[in-house]
Structure 1
Amino acid sequence: MTVASLSCAALTALMGQQNVALSDNSSYAAALSSYASQQEASLQPTCIIFPQTSSDVSAAVVALQNQDQRTPFAIRSGGHTYWAGAANIADGVVVDLSNINDIELSTDQSTITAGVGASWGTLYSLLDPLGLSVNGGRVAGVGVGGLSLGGGISFFSPRYGWTCDTVTNYQIVLANGSIVDANSQSNPDLFQALKGGNNNFGIATYIEFSTFPQGNLWAASVSNDLSLADDVIAQFVNLNSPTAYDEYASFVMSFGYTQAQDSMVITSDLDYTQVTQSVENPPAVYEAWLALPNLTSTSQIINMSSLSVADQSIQPDGARSLSLVTTLLSNTSVIKAASEAWQANVPSITNVPNISFALTFEPLPPSFYSRGARTNSLGLANRNESLAIAVITANWFTSTDDTLVNTTMQSLLDNVNSAATELGGSDSFIYLNYAGQYQNSISSYGNQSVALLQEVRRRVDPSLVFTEQVPGGVTTMTPRKDSIPHETRTAAEPRQNKLYTVRLARVEQVNPSVRLLRLALPQEPPSDESAFDAQSQETFSFLPGQWLDVHIPSIPQAGGFTITSTPADAQPLPIPDPTIIQDGTENLSHQQGEFGTESAAAASDGRYPYVELAVQQSPSNPAAAWLWRPHKEILGSELRVRVGGSFVWPPPSSVRMELIRRIVFMAGGVGINPLISILSHLTEEQTPNPAFPLPEKSPNHPLHIRFLYSTQIPAPSIPDEKTLEQILFLSRLRNIVQRTRTVTKRPANIKLDLDLFLTNLSSPAAATQASEILNKVTDGSNVSNDSPLIRVHGQRINKDDLDANSQQEDTVYYICGPPPMTDEFVQYLEPVVGKERVLYEKWW
């Protein structure tokens, strides 16, 4: 039996069969079907337990630690977080708190205590007849527990702040099974930590909230044509400013696309929590917004329970859902740039059946977030400007579209953050309740808040039960990977001992978000021109696929960047004029001439040895930001570098080199970086060093390479040579394929097939146009016409494209891309071909 099976048996004996559901139980199926997303519902826990009281939870927490290997478990309140594993778990135990749902109003009606399994709709139904309300969730079915531990946004937040700011007490079960209260008098540090700290400290079972008098609300929904974007944005920004602030006004603005209607519209929900007028006389604060020409407009006087149910209906049943979030400064240029980025990404997903795809802006003015800023753990006490939460959401229905949707959303998030940074309008805060699986909100709270959370956890959970046994949620000690210093994140990776001195010799702007940098390889001493004498050079070597620790003198922490050149490029050729290396060679334009011309960064006769790096614009990464300074500021600079990394050619010794006859590469976005180095090396006619072996290439042992590259063109239009030139390494890939097809230049018996997947093409005609451009041969080469140089697809990579089966013992797979793509294909391939032949790396 598994550890989880043993725990399920022990929990059944402890709690009774009626409170433990195995997979053949109707309660098990009902619980899974009630999750808010298909992704969560798809996970199969070993059992689901339904504690009835805090004491039941206490007993379960202790029992889950009693096995020799502690049992992994998930904690569910409402199950409204979308990503798989947030409140469910495969091969573990789900602690489902839905039966801890009793509600008690205090005698003086100033507070109300709710079990975390209760929903907000239930609270509102009880309070509405009494003329009372709470600063709770806006959707009826959302659970009380999760929302209140992650912050919480309410219709009443302009008056009262985050939902957690109006909590007066948490009852919580700690790792040792004790049941404690956390409030301003008892366990005040834990009380503050729970206000935004998620499930890092225990299982909250009951939460007490302040109540306040409240009657009906005025609620409206207005849709506008996309052509009015500037006007609608201006209304949002104005009402989110301190000068126009109204504490009774709650509003959101959403740019939305639905595949069923094939249309993009702006929908605004305008609510007012103090009703002194009729439906026909809307609140004065919204008059200018409502005066804009609209497509539809509805308004009503409504109570909280009915309004929350109406908002619940917006979420389609049975959908696959995802959300990602960022925070922006609330000004017109930043919001407009973000909305334009959303509009540019829409064509990528228009072929996904029944998808809805939205970018929604929610106001976050200082009078909202500052109310409890020093008594919660969200880390916003040092802000003083109006902010806007920007949340990207998608709902779709087929798992085959997961990677396309995930990568499109991540691309949009990156584009929004990049545009905001360029305009000086980005903020580091990530709202936990909207965050995706790979966004760790807690690290965005800042050092002071994180230190508090860590200290509280050391006190209440020294054995890290709720960190190590609960993989869902967001853990304090696991900040976002992109926020961990490179050398810390890669500490377990192999790396060389020696630091080499290099000089930045060339900058090439491939597209608006990626630069290629050439680092010339002079050696010690670093600051002496004799270092560039070929006689003084020491050996610099690396394996294809490795990266460099890049130490920049003015930056305390090294950056990590993948080498995109080959080991042969690091070998010396006849030495050029030293002033070229001294001053650097400027190349900030796109490649010149015909599409297939050699890249400006490719090796040429007469040069120092070099390494090439592809550096994506990333203002939050200090090393990358420095390397993106104006070229005149950085060319000629001396840097110190060290080689590291294990995602390399050759594969590990468990894969026999002499048996390899087929290699499949799969690259997603900038995940092409290590793979272009490996491919370039493999297609060299001979290896310059036996330490970097190549598979045998002979007429009797042909080597077949498939290269699958998924990316986007800069704009979803009919592609031309200029836009295709901006795709990272596409020119280089085309040259490699053409060389393998050219009779007089062909490496010994290599067959190379290149498939390009452009996920944001506007139409099938665009794919045809791209194919025609890419398959032209303009240099007179005698090229074999057995198949196109590049096959172009206007879609994402699918599993069928891998052509994987268990008989392929001569095949190895190299995968590098964004986490959702990499995870999907690794999980598919490993059971089919074996783990040892699936090599992968994720970019974050």
Structure 2
Amino acid sequence: MPRNRGYFHVMVPLVAFFLSYVPVIQAGYGAQSCCLTLAQNLVGSVFFEGQKQYADSLGSYYSGQESDLSPSCIVRPINAAQVSTAVKILSTAHIAKPGSCNFAVRGGGHTPYAGSANVESGVTLDLGRMKSIKVNKSRGTVSLEPGLLWGEVYSKLDPMHISVVGGRSNLVGVAGLATGGGISFFSGRYGLVCDNILNYEVVLADGRIINANEREHVDLRNALRGGSNNFGIVTKFELSSFQQGNLWGGDITHDFNTLPEQLQAFVDYGGNSDFDEYSAFFQVFGTVGGLYFITNNPVYTKPTPYPPIFKKFYEISPQLSNTARIAPLHNLTTITGSVAAMGLRNMFITTSFDNDLPFLHWVVQTWKTFSAELAMVPGLVNTILNQHLVPKTLRKAEARGGNSLGLDPNRVVVIAMLSLTWTEAADDEKVRLAAIAFIKSVEAEAKKRRVYNRFIYLNYADLGQEVIEGYGKSQKNRLRAVSKKYDPAGVFQVAVPGGFKLWP
């Protein structure tokens, strides 16, 4: 069938009329046949090239690499029942003819690498119309649908003076962060995002809709706490909620010459045995147009200005800018999200290591050398973000039933994320190869110095990084067993190519 622009815009009404008189098209004959079957069964929720809804979906991805892909159709379900119908059709196609109708699942669309939540010439399930927020009567739990962004969640909860353990940027999606682990401003008090999910409503590969919680399907619940899109599609997250007023926080930017004091303060903060659980912090080293800077992001989850836990940071001078203030959570996450370059070329890649001062100096100086090599890339914004996961945070997981991440709760880990933004698709390969080479050099040096940590944080990972392997062999085997139990045909391993899979 032709795929020229505008063709489906004209043909969809006619096809829908025709299909009302014929049996459902048999799946297994390619993505376009799947799309027609979906259009028959999900009237008003399937969109094709040339339609506004199709263009709007593609244009709302965080990265240009994702927007470049052209699925045969985009399904935008409005509820779990529609997701179930779509998955049954797509699973039938996969079983009849593997590879004939691959599909992608999109929540917020923030993961930047091409194919993470979109698919070329397949079917994209865009959950962006599923945005319900329900607070129970006691205000002790909140149910969130997967199309929400965290900024939308906080806009609803802030006026109610309650909150949940969620993302730190208003532009990040609920679904991806929650199934990938999730670091929050509240992680010191309550653990990771995934540790605070009480119930998952999940659509399985056969279309069944089940709940996974502490009473039923516990193995699936634990697998979804870090196991991402390997088991089904989560259509509702129920999270613990708590009373929460304003917070204190913001960005404090310094000249790069303050590097020695910055790194010493960073190591001392992460290694503090009396870690203040109300605090959250990350440190960013960046360069734009040949200028280098350091930005600290301290947040305190009480309305307490300049708490003692951050004293070593805010005593560093001079400060080039300071946005720290008392504000609602939504306001602070908007600060974090304001640096996002929506629709440009974007890349994340990550690694982890011990809280070691000499090695941190080596990493930052090596990053500066790497940055110089890419200085001529047009529009390049290049940052490396460092943050800690400390034992007080990691130990929260066990009390909440555990997760799949395989982290040692007695070991401080530094998660480093390299984030790159540029303007021209012609530079994609150059930037990506340089970034991979930099991260590999960091890992090689960390192993040499015996400060390497195998953990790869899924929410920052790039295509090709061995995320599941980083959880450890026993966790990987558990995740594989759960996959075989709930998806015996391997639909989410093979027909959904995006994400980090359990088998090669």
CA displacement 1:601-657 (0-9 Å, x = unmatched): xxxxxxxxxxxxxxxxxxxxxxxxxxxxxxxxxxxxxxxxxxxxxxxxxxxxxxxxx
Q: Distance in 2 between the 1:9 and 1:185 partners? A: 39
**What's 1:434 paired with?**
460
2:76 counterpart residue number: 50
Deviations 1:4-57 (A, max 9, x none): 0000000000001x2111001110000000000000000000000011111111
SS, match of residue 397 in structure 2 = coil
Distance verdict in 2 for CA 1:92–1:378, change over 3 Å: same
- Please name the residue that 1:796 is paired with: none
- In structure 2, relative to structure 1, the CA distance for the partners of 1:244 and 1:105 (3 Å cut) is same
Give the Cα separation in 2 of the matches to 1:130 and 1:168.
Answer: 21
Residue pairs, 1:199-598, within 5 angstroms? 199-259=229-289, 262-277=290-305, 282-293=306-317, 294-373=319-398, 375-380=402-407, 382-478=408-504
Which residue in 2 is equivalent to 1:65?
91
Supply the AA of the counterpart residue of 1:393: S
For residue 87 of structure 1, the aligned residue among 117, 127, 131 is 117
Separation (CA, whole Å) in 2 of partners of 1:7 and 1:433: 30
Deviation at 1:298, TM superposition (A): 2.8
For structure 1, the residue ranges without an aligned partner over 5 or more in a row are: 479-844
Answering whether residue 141 of structure 2 is matched by residue 111 of structure 1, we say yes
Distance 1:175 1:318 in 2: 31
Residue 457 of structure 1 and its aligned partner are, at CA, apart by 0.8
Residue in structure 2 matched with residue 5 of structure 1 by the alignment? 32
Contact 1:221-1:297 at 8 Å conserved across structures: yes
> What's the TM-score once normalised by structure 1's chain length?
0.55
Name the CA distance, whole Å, in 2 between partners of 1:227 and 1:423: 26
CA drift of 1:244 comes to 4.2
Equivalent residue for 1:806?
A: none
The answer to whether the 8 A contact 1:337-1:420 is kept is no
Count of residues in correspondence between the two structures: 470
Instruction: State the SS of the aligned residue for 1:211.
Output: strand
State the secondary structure of the residue aligned to 1:91. Answer: coil
- Identity, % of aligned pairs? 35
C-alpha distance in 2 between matches for 1:457 and 1:392: 31
Query: Does 2:185 correspond to 1:155?
Result: yes
Separation of aligned partners in 2, 1:306 and 1:28: 31
Which of 150, 154, 159 is residue 120 of structure 1 equivalent to? 150
1:499-552, Cα deviation, whole Å (9 max, x unpaired): xxxxxxxxxxxxxxxxxxxxxxxxxxxxxxxxxxxxxxxxxxxxxxxxxxxxxx
- 1:311 offset after TM fit, Å? 1.7
Q: How far, CA to CA, are the matches of 1:417 and 1:244 in structure 2?
A: 29
TM-score, normalised relative to structure 2? 0.91
The 2-side partners of 1:325 and 1:276 are apart by 32
Check the 8 A contact 1:254/1:268 in 2, yes or no. yes
Distance 2:500 2:451 in 1: 26
Query: Which residue identity is paired with 1:250?
Result: A
Alignment deviations for residues 105-143 of structure 1 (CA, whole Å, 9 cap, x no partner): 011100000111111111111111111111001111211
Alignment-mate amino acid for residue 473 of structure 2: N
Matches of 1:290 and 1:265 in 2, distance apart?
Answer: 15
Q: Is the Cα contact below 8 Å between 2:60 and 2:343 reproduced in 1?
A: no
- Secondary structure of the corresponding residue to residue 51 of structure 1: coil
Question: Given the superposition, is the C-alpha separation of residues 23 and 297 from structure 1 closer, same or farther in structure 2, using an over 3 Å criterion?
Answer: same
Larger relative helix fraction: 2
Distance verdict in 2 for CA 1:78–1:337, change over 3 Å: same
What residue number does 2:26 align with?
none
Q: Secondary structure at the match of 1:295?
A: strand
Residues 290-309 of structure 1: per-residue CA shift (max 9 Å, x gap): 11113222321111111122
Kept after mapping to 1: 8 A contact 2:352/2:416: yes
In the alignment, the residues of structure 2 paired with residue 289 and residue 356 of structure 1 have an alpha-carbon distance, to the nearest angstrom, of 24
Q: Compute the displacement of 1:318 (Å).
A: 2.4
Supply the distance in 2 between the matched residues of 1:383 and 1:160 (Cα, whole angstroms).
Answer: 14
1:253-287 deviation line (CA, Å, top 9, x unaligned)? 1110112xx2011111111111234xxxx112222
Paired AA for residue 293 in structure 2: V
2:216 corresponds to which residue? 186
| Partner of residue 138, structure 1 | 168
Which residues of structure 2 form unaligned runs of 5+?
A: 2-28
What is the alpha-carbon distance in structure 2 between the residues aligned to residue 341 and residue 147 of structure 1? 29
Is residue 247–residue 304 contact of structure 2 (8 Å, CA) maintained in 1?
Answer: no
Tell me, yes or no, if the aligned pair for 1:338 and 1:420 is still in contact at 8 Å.
no
Match of 1:755 in 2: none
SS, match of residue 91 in structure 2: coil
Q: What secondary structure, in the 3-state scheme, does the structure 2 residue paired with 1:206 have?
A: strand
Alpha-carbon separation, structure 1, partners of 2:342 and 2:475 = 37
Question: Secondary structure, in 3 states, of the residue corresponding to 1:126?
Answer: helix
Contact 1:134 1:212 (C-alpha < 8 Å) held by counterparts: yes
Cα RMSD after superposing both structures: 1.2
CA contact (8 A) 2:62 2:111 kept: yes
Shift of 1:317: 2.9
Q: CA deviation at 1:462?
A: 0.4
1:700-725 CA distances to partner (integer Å, 9 max, x unpaired)? xxxxxxxxxxxxxxxxxxxxxxxxxx
Q: C-alpha separation between the residues in 2 aligned to 1:318 and 1:163? A: 26
1:21, 1:27 within 8 Å by CA — same for their partners in 2? yes
Structure-2 separation of matches of 1:440 and 1:421: 16
Which aligned segments of 4 or more residues in structure 1 are displaced greater than 6 angstroms?
none
Whether the 8 Å CA contact 1:242–1:365 is kept in 2: the answer is no
8 Å contact from structure 2 (residues 133, 144) kept in 1? yes
Mapped contact 1:238–1:244 kept (Cα < 8 A): no
